């Protein structure tokens, strides 16, 4: 009886699928119980799922290989139609293999695929799932939208790994003010000093992070020192541009403080510390 069951390909298929699914569930359960960072847990679970899916496909094909061969020969006349019908699926599968070979990103990375930007939360052979990030938003940057990108997009859209931009960014902003005959360059030294004071708390960390990015990516960044430049627009108004390397979560707060410092200086309002000292 045991031999007859082993010769029954349907039974073998059910046993193989059950064993693979059970092992995949046990490994996933084991990883979720570990006290590892969430990104590492998601990355390991995603790897287990992809390997499990691959073993399922290979196992079923190995069991039914003779029947599949006969079936393929019987539908040779329709092979062209099948290829056309499954063209997009094949493109997605090949795109998944291409990405797995290139390893341009992993689960937990921030990436931009074409015009879509987000954190990779899942990746399989056919699609990649992103938790959308607003490229212009600061703070944590998440919009709450989930994006499902077919892997065929890897052949038609540029893929950018922005993982180094999730903690520190090169943030720049401009202040536009109408010129009323005064010299705006008087505020340059004051703004440089104020920006340095606002960034002093994380300066050492920013320097190390900047050097790490330059070493890994082989590029030269502007560095943690703030840059203040003055230009004019088409209306003849003064444009003050401030560029600094700072934590993403603090960029908006620093921008607002610098703008307040600029207008306090320009209109002669005392700063808080000066007012407290005079009091």
- Tell me the CATH number at 221: 3.30.70
Among residues 153, 159, 156, 169, the alpha carbon closest in space to that of 102 is found at 159
pLDDT tens for each residue of 174-224:
988 887 777 878 888 888 888 888 888 888 888 888 777 777 666 666 666
Is 188 found in the same domain as 104? no
Where the chain has pLDDT below 50, the residues are 270-279
Asked if residues 246 and 168 have their Cβ atoms less than 8 Å apart, the reply is yes
Q: Looking at residue 185, what is its pLDDT?
A: 83
Is 249 found in the same domain as 128? no
Is 68 found in the same domain as 138? yes
Q: Looking at residue 22, what is its pLDDT?
A: 92
Q: Domain end: 138, 164, 190, which one? A: 164
Residue 118 in 3-state DSSP?
strand
Output DSSP code: residue 136. T
Residue 15 in 3-state DSSP?
helix
Q: Looking at residue 279, what is its pLDDT?
A: 33
Is 231 found in the same domain as 159? no
Residue 66's domain comprises 2-164
Q: Domain end: 112, 147, 164, which one? A: 164
Tally of domains in the chain:
2
Does the pTM surpass 0.75? The reply is no
Is 8 found in the same domain as 137? yes
Is 103 found in the same domain as 44? yes
Is 127 found in the same domain as 17? yes
User: DSSP letters along 138-178, please?
Assistant: -TT-EEEEEEEEETTHHHHS-EEE-GGGTTEEEEEEEEEE-
Q: Looking at residue 276, what is its pLDDT?
A: 38
Is 180 found in the same domain as 128? no
Is 202 found in the same domain as 84? no
Neighbours of 242 (CB within 10 A): 22
Q: Domain end: 131, 164, 197, which one? A: 164
Is 240 found in the same domain as 116? no
Is 175 found in the same domain as 157? no
Is 144 found in the same domain as 15? yes
- Residue 173 backbone dihedrals phi, psi, to 5 degrees: -150, 160
Q: Looking at residue 5, what is its pLDDT?
A: 59
Neighbours of 17 (CB within 10 A): 15
């Amino acid at each position: 009886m045991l031999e007859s069951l082993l010769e029954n390909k349907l039974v073998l298929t059910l046993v193989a699928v059950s064993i693979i699914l059970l092992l995949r569930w046990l490994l996933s359960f084991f990883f979720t119980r570990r006290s590892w960072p969430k990104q590492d847990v998601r990355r390991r679970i995603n790897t287990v799922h992809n390997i499990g899916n691959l073993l399922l496909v290979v196992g079923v094909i190995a069991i039914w290989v003779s029947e599949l061969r006969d079936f393929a020969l019987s539908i040779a006349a329709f092979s062209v139609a099948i290829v056309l019908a499954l063209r997009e699926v094949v493109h997605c599968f090949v795109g998944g293999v291409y990405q797995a070979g290139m390893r341009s990103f992993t689960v937990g990375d921030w990436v931009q695929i074409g015009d879509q930007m987000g954190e990779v939360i899942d990746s399989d052979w056919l699609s990649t799932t992103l938790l959308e990030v607003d490229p212009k938003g600061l703070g944590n940057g998440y919009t709450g939208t989930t994006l499902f990108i077919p892997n065929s997009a890897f052949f038609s859209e540029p893929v950018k790994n922005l993982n180094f931009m999730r903690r520190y960014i090169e943030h720049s902003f401009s202040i536009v003010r109408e010129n009323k005959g005064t010299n705006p360059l008087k505020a340059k030294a004051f703004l440089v000093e104020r920006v340095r004071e606002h960034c002093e708390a994380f300066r050492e960390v920013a320097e190390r992070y900047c050097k790490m990015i330059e070493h890994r990516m082989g590029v030269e960044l502007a560095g943690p020192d703030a840059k203040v430049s003055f230009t004019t627009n088409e209306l003849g108004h003064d444009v003050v541009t401030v560029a600094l390397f700072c934590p993403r979560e603090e960029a908006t707060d620093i921008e607002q403080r610098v703008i307040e410092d600029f207008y306090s200086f320009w209109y002669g309002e005392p700063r808080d510390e000066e007012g407290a000292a005079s009091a």
